[in-house]
Amino acid sequence: MAVAAEARGAAQIGALAAVDGGLHPGAWLAWLAAGCATVFLTSNPLYLSLAFLAVGGVYLSVRESPKGRVFGPFVLIGLAFAALSIPLNVLTGSSGPSVLFTLPEISFPDWFGGVTLGGAVTAEALVTATTLAIGIASLVLLAGAFNASIDHFRLIRLAPSALSQLMLTLSVAIVVIPQAVAHARAVAEARRLRGRTARGLRALPGLLLPTLHGALERSVQRAESMEARGFGGSERTGGTAVSFLGVVGLGVAMWGAFAHYWYGPGLWPSAAMAAGVALVGFGLFRTIGPRATRLRADSWGLLDGIVIAAAVTSPGLLLALRVMGTGDVSYLAYPEVVAPAFHAAAAVAMLLLLTPVLASSRGGAQR
Amino acid sequence: MIRVEGLSFRYPQAACPILNKVDLEIPTGELVLVVGPSGGGKSTFLRSLNGLVPHFHGGTYSGRVLVAGRSTVDNQPRDLAGTVGMVFQDPESQVVAETVEDELTFGMETAGLQQATMRKRVEEVLDVMGIAQLRNRRLDTLSGGELQRVAIGAVLTMQPRVLLLDEPTSQLDPQAAEDLLTAVQRLNDDLGLTVVVAEHRLERVIQYSSRVLYIPGDGSVIAMETRQAMESLSLAPPVVRLGRGLGWSPLPLSVREARTFAPSFSQNGMHKEQGTRSREQDEEVGSRNQDVSAPAIAVQELQVSYGEFEALRGVSLEVPAGEIVALMGRNGAGKTTLLRTLIGLERPVRGSASVLGIDVTSAETETLARDIALVPQAPDAVLYRQTVEEEIAETLEASSRTGEVDATLREWGLEDLRSANPADLSVGERQRTALAAMLVGAPRVVLLDEPTRGMDYETKEQLVVNLKRRAQAGCAVVIASHDVELAAQCAYRVVLLSEGELAVDGPTREVLTESLTFSTQVNRLFGGRYLTPEDVLGEGVLT
């Protein structure tokens, strides 16, 4: 009897530990960061293509999850935009010596930006535009795979308490997305049932407004329910002021990063980034003590370790190559297009991005 | 437990107060039903008991409410979360997490409880609500009934002393609604939890409630003893209506209570009579317009699949014009799919389907909408204009049906709401608006998908009368519903679907009287061929 009871107890503990079949949210986060870093670190079309394939493989392995289906349309739209950017970039700004063919030229007046469409199309412009598009597409797939496989509600538990309110808001917003999609479908159907066509661009305003309206209404209901369930009690989150500082800090840091990217390095962007990071750090420091309690912490498995190790190695390899100056990690099609070099280490770095596939097959079976 | 003193409340934009000088007291451990017409202030009253009114909604507030000695004005709703738990109508828009267990622990984690305490409470709640097998499931894979039980469980983990339920079954089918209400009744019984529930489906809970709060809509809240309330209020379950009609005293509230009266009547020859009723009398149940040659709906060997899943597997069915058919069966039996196919929203893999002589397997829904009307399950998604009036005009304009807006507003009792925004209406009012908007302009075929979900007795009565009138005028009506009482009241024929196949097709009185589960309250009481209180009351012999 005692043995049986003990065995049952052990089985229960086992069940408690193995509640989630997939990867630890932290591992996914590491993978996402590694993928983004990789895409930003290299401009070699060969490496980027490999990264695209690896990330695409991961996306395909999680695409059929319940969330994957929700985010599917968004991924498709993102990929379409990436593909569209190629002709757009080529047509608006082709330069370089290797002219492939020439198109009729349309010049817009100065007050319209002075853009010139068409003209000579060069191999340099084509390679640059395609490389950029592959990078964008890889980022889209990264985000798609991440969102398809992560439990957003669990992700927020990894956030430091100063940001937990913000993160919870975000996670609830994500919960709303599938509902909004379902609502939009229902509205489209209702329109057809009443004899209005629900296809084509003209139907869009008629669909958008009710969908937004429905989503808003549900959000209010959800806010009400969360309020009634005690959310927003301030004792646990380290105080509103600190929370506010954290959010402001994050915003300032992001602005700095954006300005750095957009206007180039300068005093203000760097100062903003430093100030933002300092604010966030202060917020985190202030809230080290009190934390919302947890029923159970997500467990780390062997696969999580592998994914994280790969996530560290992958951009590390690229960075090493870049520092050593071999393997054409950063590649420029100008002044004249030449075949980029290919280094085996970089290929390994890209293939390491495939590691989540190992887990998603296992996790998919359990969920 | 709850004390309300001189409570008055007016919404910011409203002309008159929705609650006016309410005084009442609810003792510990009671199960209190809040009833009243839709839009009358039931939701507002419940929200005033945990402080969402006035803290969340704003408006003019006076008086005070004390819950377990704590004032709802001095305490924010979130601070009262450990004392009062509240569950809302729509199960989907009150969940925050992605899995059942995370949902259950959300409140406790926010409150910062110890891990050991949380473990214990989660286990308890899983058992109490009977959802242990769901603990690791994703919330988006749950049915509405399961989700609503999880929502109650999530509130219970906070161990509140009062549970408020705002029409918790309005989005559920009858079976799920019954299960939910049974669970709620057990919470009250076993745990001594004080429960205040706004609910239309009185059949299941009325016999357990000690008290009814009637909110007529003029700002007052009238507290009544349950039996007294059932004697005077117009909204009452069939068995109560029967008891009232036959002058039974004390008035029975459930079939079980009514049984003590029933034997004396069966001696009067009730059961003996059952075989003598003629076929003609049976046909009074529904209406049928005999002099029509071609059927309005003709379906042959219809097969519809969603990927691997076969929703309909060779269904054949004919519905003549002027007939009301009730389409019944479990969830997932294919009822909704059949209706959707009849208006071109689903395309069959095999088989044929024609409505009014048009092949609906290839026609576009937009054009079919002229003569066929389908009212889908969720009324919310149907309404997308700014006012009730516009909603009705929209259908007329888009479908090129001919009809009159004013007459339609009158038909559904919506005159006073004509310029109201559908989003501001109560659930019941929205349901009526959806019906009015979809059925305007005399379509020749009417398809209704679970129309009485969360509907109060009065609106249901209105719907029955309306459908019967349409059938008289030659309209073919198909109602997909779990609602046995509705079928008994207006359907001529009952078609039972089971896993995509047609299981039974026969006259209502035959199908519903020979069934274990699909039987009405009155039939459970008397057996035989009696389905509705009117069946029994109509026979002079009995009284």
Residues B231 and B302 in one domain: no
Phi, psi of B176 (to 5 degrees): -65, -35
Residue B482 has pLDDT above 70, yes or no: yes
The pLDDT value given to residue B264: 62
Q: What is the CATH number of the domain that holds B309?
A: 3.40.50.300
Report yes or no: B251 and B242 within 8 Å, Cβ to Cβ. Answer: no
Instruction: Provide the pLDDT for residue B274.
Output: 43
Output the six-digit token pair for B377: 């399950």
Q: Are B304 and B224 in a shared domain? A: no
Domain count, chain B: 2
Q: Test B158 with A229 for CB contact under 8 angstroms.
A: yes
Residue extents of the structural domains in chain A = 18-159+299-367, 161-237, 240-286
Minimal CA separation from B248 to chain A, in Å:
43
B472 pLDDT exceeds 70?
yes
pLDDT band at A2 (very low <50, low <70, confident <90, very high): very low
CB contacts, 8 Å: A224 with chain B: 52, 56, 88
Say whether both B403 and B332 belong to one domain. yes
Which among B69, B44, B39 is positioned nearest to B58, based on CA atoms?
B44
Distance from CA of B506 to the nearest CA of A (A): 30
Confidence of residue A367 (pLDDT cuts 50, 70, 90): very low
Express as a percent the part of chain B with pLDDT over 70: 93
Give the C-alpha separation, A15 to B266, whole Å.
Answer: 57
Residues of A in contact with B111 (CB under 8 A): 230, 233, 236
User: Which run of H or of E encompasses B183?
Assistant: helix B174-191
Mean of the per-residue pLDDT values for chain A? 79
* Residues of A whose CB is below 8 A from B369: 192-195
Structure-model confidence comparison of residues B93 and B85, the more confident one? B85
What the block records as the tokens of A339 is 């075949």
In this complex, is the C-beta atom of B499 within 8 Å of any C-beta atom belonging to chain A?
no
Verify whether the Cβ–Cβ distance A193 to B365 is below 8 Å: yes
Same domain? B504 vs B362:
yes
The more confident residue out of B14 and A194 is A194
Q: State the average pLDDT over residues B233-238.
A: 83
The reply to whether B219 and B302 lie within a common domain is no
Any domain includes B490: yes
Q: Which of A3-12, A46-55, A163-172, B48-57 has the highest mean pLDDT?
A: A46-55
Q: Which residues contact A253 (CB under 8 A, 6 or more apart)?
A: A272, A273, A275, A276, A277, A279, A280
Amino acid B392 reads: I
pLDDT-based confidence at residue B37 (cuts at 50, 70, 90): confident
Residues of A in contact with B373 (CB under 8 A): 193
Domain containing B499: what range?
Answer: 297-527
The answer to whether the CB atoms of B110 and A233 lie below 8 A apart is yes
The two structure tokens encoding residue B431: 């349901």
Q: Identify the pLDDT of residue B270.
A: 47
In chain B, the residue whose alpha carbon lies closest to the alpha carbon of A220 is: B93
Same domain, B223 and B309: no
Instruction: Using pLDDT thresholds of 50, 70 and 90, give the confidence band for residue A362.
Output: low
Q: How many CB atoms lie within 10 A of CB B376?
A: 23
Residue B140 DSSP code = G
Confidence of residue B140 (pLDDT cuts 50, 70, 90): confident
Q: What pLDDT does A361 receive?
A: 56
Of B86, B111, B122, the CB nearest to A295: B122
Model confidence at A12, pLDDT cuts 50, 70, 90, reads very low
Token pair recorded at residue A10:
């052990």
Alpha helices by DSSP H, B34-99? 42-48, 52-55
For residue A34, pLDDT beyond 90: yes
Least confident of A12-16, B117-121, B189-193: A12-16
In a domain, B121, yes or no: yes
**Which amino acid is residue B202, in one-letter code?**
L
Answer yes or no: is pLDDT of B89 > 50: yes
Among chain A residues, the shortest Cα distance to B77 is held by: A228
Residue B442 touches chain A, beta carbons under 8 Å: no
Confidence check: pLDDT of A345 > 80: yes
Residue B209 falls within a domain, yes or no?
yes
pLDDT at res. A183: 82
pLDDT, one tens digit per residue, over B413-446 is 899 899 998 888 877 788 889 999 999 988 999 9
Round to the nearest angstrom and report the end-to-end CA distance of chain A.
Answer: 33
Tell me the H-state helices in B52-173.
52-55, 100-111, 115-128, 144-156
Question: Residue A33 — very low, low, confident or very high, per pLDDT cuts 50/70/90?
Answer: very high
What is the pLDDT averaged over residues A186-207? 79
pLDDT in tens, B281-327: 444 444 455 555 678 999 999 999 887 788 899 999 999 999 999 99
Provide CB contacts within 8 A for B178, sequence distance 6+.
B201, B204
- Nearest CB partner across the interface for B381, out of A187, A228, A293: A187
- B96 interface with A at CB cutoff 8 Å: yes
What pTM did the predictor assign?
0.77
Domain end among B204, B235, B266: B235
CA quadruple A234, A238, A239, A244: dihedral positive or negative?
A: negative
- Same domain? B225 vs B126: yes
Tens-place pLDDT, residues B325-361: 999 987 778 899 999 999 999 999 999 999 999 999 9
Indicate the range of A324-328, A348-352, B1-5 predicted with least confidence.
Answer: A324-328
Percent of chain B with pLDDT over 90: 41
Which are the contacts of A82, defined by CB distance < 8 A and separation ≥ 6?
Answer: A133, A134, A136, A137, A140
Q: Does this complex have an ipTM over 0.90? A: no
Listed residues B210, B235, B260: the one ending a domain: B235
A364 pLDDT band (50/70/90 cuts)?
Answer: very low
Q: Cα–Cα distance between B43 and B49 in angstroms, integer?
A: 10
Mutate to test the interface with A, among B43, B50, B83, B98 (most CBs of A within 10 A): B98
pLDDT band at A308 (very low <50, low <70, confident <90, very high): very high
A230·B50 Cβ contact <8 A: no
Kindly state the tokens that stand for A235: 């004792």
Q: Give the three-state DSSP class for A320.
A: helix
Does residue B98 sit in the same domain as residue B223? yes
- Amino acid making up residue A329: V
Same domain, B214 and B68: yes
Mean of pLDDT values over A109-128: 82
Q: What angle do CA B462, B466, B472 make, to 5 degrees?
A: 150
